[in-house]
Structure 1
């Protein structure tokens, strides 16, 4: 049992390393995961040796993966999982079998491994890191992207596949054959019984328990109950030899439709983040860095070979089986090209069963760890290459040629605002022409109403000439980029000095800049905000007449303040001063309106 002082020291070391390295990694755009891995390497026995025994925290750190899978289960539901069955059991199975076969073949024929070792190597390295992949996708807000959804489905199948793989390793090693068919049947019944306990408990026991706990109103008891559910399920599954993470996922899946789902997620989330960070730190601590210096060619060569085999295979699976586009298939490959945490478990059992020599085991662990460390760098490189070389969308000729009669209005930008303007003008039989730079938007708009929308950048003079802007009365600028709107207004004002320009503005500063160009600025959220405020006032007890009077008062007052601030909008101090004075004046006006209404009540009641 470790001494209490050692536990406190270890906690301080872990927290200090995380606080120091993770923000630095995030600032360098490398991702939090790489920061945790780097922290583990620094404090581990290979560098500073602040934590002498990495295995002492491995079991606690595995709870991070357990909690992650529980929250993933909460965000799904049995119905949604059934919808995903083709991606999970179709694409996931294809990925594991294809990647495992190729890596196993390389291990068998290139590196001369025995057949049983090659099978374990192939299937073990075919697995990817659930924690690493999902954390990387979450950091980039890509979990709901096409490649993010497919990555999740593949990772989910890999977690399921890890169970038979772990059970298969001793058999392939030719280990203990003393188990009888009756014992195997007994173990299978234990697994099924444990799953049945989780299913029945999740359906009929947990909801009444959470209902009772919720009535106490004690947050700490609610947190303890949530942790008990997750850790208890993981412990039960671990007892019968099933993956703790898969057991937690099953528990979360059963509670996905529960009315306490959001409460559970909120209670677990802080622990998940800390323990997941601890998991990555423990992975970094377990890396045998000395092997990197004694045999750098072998370590780096195997790491690159692993990525160079898995990435193209994942790309092919994503394209052919997953139906992804080229860029999304490439992103899928980059996210899942690294090794996974379950490979550590599989290879450790293989080493203990005599399938691998200790040196080969250390080499495999370091290879998987380095492949994880390279993933954020590959994601960063992939993102920059995609940004640097955007896909060129071919523009059909019928969208390029602007064939129109003399328009009275030209609209730049056919997004939400531009489409509404176009529909109203069409209803009034007013001639107009619209320009946009999105082929998808143009084709969608044309398919609905046959509107005269053409491909063209409104900041290019030849496009403006082709659209016959000189014959128009109004130029409406409705794109969702404030800088584009301002530059377009500048160009139109310079080329067509007498043109009436109405432009969409993001905020007050953009209003001022557009007014400088003699354009009428329309704030994109101003009028919808006024309507929301009016409905809120009515809901709070004001009559519709009173609420509308308040809104009209505010609108007039705000427009007056905006006009007054235009003279000083480049002086921040004066803008702040006028804003403060405007707030006080508006409060006085509202109070005056309220007193006037009160004084009128007795007269109206007579």
Structure 2
């Protein structure tokens, strides 16, 4: 990457972060500024952007399970939403045509519906970044959103085949043979170890999957996704994803910069793109209604709809093809590039307050719930639990197992990762599924017999929010939490949490004390 790109990305990213906004907004701004100042994108920037997207799709695959895509709330909501939205947007565009607004006056219903179809996709990049930043990838609404994104990606493949006329090679049938190669792929990952070979193996599989699918005439991004899904059940899937995270985030900067290089807009283009951005509200309402009708709880419907209500970079591909085929004027590519950028900014700003918005409006939103929810949205509280560990990752799992040794029969665990809960239940452990940030859960959960709740969550803000919800739900016991940094510890204590464990500092102290006891047995006792 040329230094000037890094300079603008760094300055703009840091500037927006200093005012408490997501850095991706700064990266988008950097791209438009570079374009305005006369800099041009090169093939290097496009290559970096493509690698970032490929790694991101591979990472999605590592967290997905095929059975999740077969759920009715995933495929039915995706296909229904795309159809209804495309027709709805076409109707709105026809109304704007009557009003003779710029660029809408020459549209026909078919071309307007095509633009609506392009805007029906949600941004995989934007959604993934937000879910990662908030630690919600494995929550109910996080997994639902990822399922919808994958279904949209499948529709994208079908569209590209139909629009370009490029039918996949007969050799594409051989891709089904990847299922037979799964043991070999797993063996390769086993041999990679835990060092630098693990991220290198991930890069090899992600880019190799892309090239393999592209070679037989199938969308390369889908190949990266499929290879990730093949590894989703591997014990090292989570470790591999973490090892690739920094690489992926760095390469994705190229993607955000590349959007700004699309074209320089006129004032009319900016106004039309803002108008299209406002229509996202309808996209949100459609998602919410469909999810609610499919028996999802109001909170799941609300959060999923909110994070999916943006426009996708794939929409630019659809419009580019339409321009190349003479179906649309080239100005529409600029208008949609701006609308996509604006949608990223709005979604990033609003979703950061999503849980607060739900708590504020939950009574009104609950009216849309069906009387009967889906079975997996109903939690069963373990009886006789005096101590509850919320979050069963590495730290939480260790605390849960240690407490079970000290107070067996009175400890329960809760986590938002259904697969983790299922595995622990099969091992006869006292755990149940639940999202700690779910305000409804704490209102319905009986905490009267609980004396201590441990919040073993990686994001300090989540622990603060849960502590507030617990007090509002009239919880009378003690709350403990973990922190990585001293400033986080102070914030958590200020929010009313009784004890905060800095696991970097205090784990080191514990290690020192245990080691010192080897040569001075009385040191530990003292």
Sort the TM-score into its range (normalised by shorter chain): 0.5 to 0.7
Q: 1:191 aligns with which of 172, 178, 193?
A: 172
Partner of residue 256, structure 1: 232
For the pair 1:371 / 2:343, whether they are aligned, the reply is yes
Verify: 1:315 aligned to 2:288, yes or no.
yes
Q: Which residue of 1 aligns with 2:271?
A: 297
1:45 corresponds to 2:35: yes
**Cα distance between partner residues in 1 of 2:224 and 2:83:** 25
**Residue correspondence of structure 1 range 122-161 to structure 2 within 5 A:** 122-161=116-155
Any conservation in 1 of the 2:77–2:287 contact (CA below 8 Å)?
Answer: no
Residue 55 (structure 2) pairs with residue 81 (structure 1): no
Give the match's secondary structure for 1:357: coil
Q: State the alpha-carbon separation in 1 of the partners of residues 192 and 157 from structure 2.
A: 34
Change (3 A) 1:590 1:40: same
- The C-alpha deviation readout for 1:388-444, integer Å capped at 9, x for no partner, is 6675999xxxxxxxxxxxxxxxxxxx98359xx9x99xxxxxxxxxxxxx9976875
Deviation, 1:365, is 2.0
| Cα shift at 1:588 | 7.1
Match of 2:311 in 1: 339
Give yes or no for the alignment of 1:113 onto 2:107.
yes
Structure 1 SS opposite 2:297: coil
Within the candidate set 313, 324, 331, 2:297 is matched to: 324
Evaluate the alpha carbon distance shift between residue 198 and residue 279 of structure 1 in structure 2; reply closer, same or farther with a 3 A threshold.
farther
Q: Which residue of 1 aligns with 2:493?
A: none
Structure 1 distance, partners of 2:365, 2:83, is 35
Q: Work out whether 1:282 is the aligned partner of 2:261.
A: no
**CA deviation string 1:498-520 (max 9, x = no partner):** xxxx985869xxxxxxxxxxxxx
Change (3 A) 1:20 1:416: farther
Give the C-alpha shift of residue 247 in structure 1.
1.0
1:15-67 Cα offsets, whole Å, 9 max, x none, are 3333323343334332232222122222x312x33x41256522330221211
Q: TM-score, normalised by structure 1?
A: 0.58
* Count, aligned residues: 416
* 1:59 has 2:47 as partner: yes
Q: Which residue of 2 aligns with 1:29?
A: 20
| Deviation at residue 106 of structure 1 after TM alignment | 3.3
- Mapped to 2, the partners of 1:503 and 1:316 lie a distance apart of 38
Residue 206 (str. 1) matches residue 180 (str. 2)? no
More helix by share: 1
Check if 1:94 corresponds to 2:85.
no
Offset at residue 263 of structure 1 (A): 4.8
**What SS does the corresponding residue of 2:265 show, helix, strand or coil?**
helix
Q: Counterpart of 1:45 in 2: which secondary structure?
A: helix
Which structure's CA Rg is the greater one?
1
CA contact (8 A) 1:33 1:136 kept: no
Partner residue, 2:425: none
Spell out, residue by residue over 1:174-231, the C-alpha distance to the aligned partner (whole angstroms, 9 max, x if none). Answer: xxxxxxxxx95xx3523333x2354444x143234445554xx9x4454433322211
Change (3 A) 1:108 1:445: closer
TM-score, scaled to structure 2: 0.66
Deviation at residue 278 of structure 1 after TM alignment: 2.0
5+ long unaligned stretches in structure 1: 1-9, 172-182, 395-413, 425-437, 447-452, 455-475, 486-501, 508-522, 527-531, 538-549, 552-583, 595-606
Is residue 334–residue 379 contact of structure 1 (8 Å, CA) maintained in 2? yes
Q: Which runs of 5+ in 2 are unaligned?
A: 98-105, 367-383, 389-406, 411-438, 456-462, 468-475, 482-497, 502-506
Contact preservation (8 Å) 2:453, 2:479: no
**Distance (whole Å) between structure 1 residues aligned to residue 123 and residue 79 of structure 2:** 16
Residue 190 of structure 1 aligns to a residue whose secondary structure is: helix
1:389-408 to 2 correspondences below 5 Å: none
CA contact (8 A) 2:169 2:217 kept: no
RMSD between aligned alpha carbons?
4.5
Distance 1:152 1:322, change over 3 A: farther
Match of 1:70 among 23, 33, 58: 58
Does residue 416 of the first structure (1) align with residue 386 of the second (2)? Answer: yes
Q: Distance in 1 between matches of 2:211 and 2:524?
A: 67
Counterpart-to-counterpart distance in 2, 1:331 and 1:70: 24
Matches within 5 A, 1:356-367: 356-367=328-339
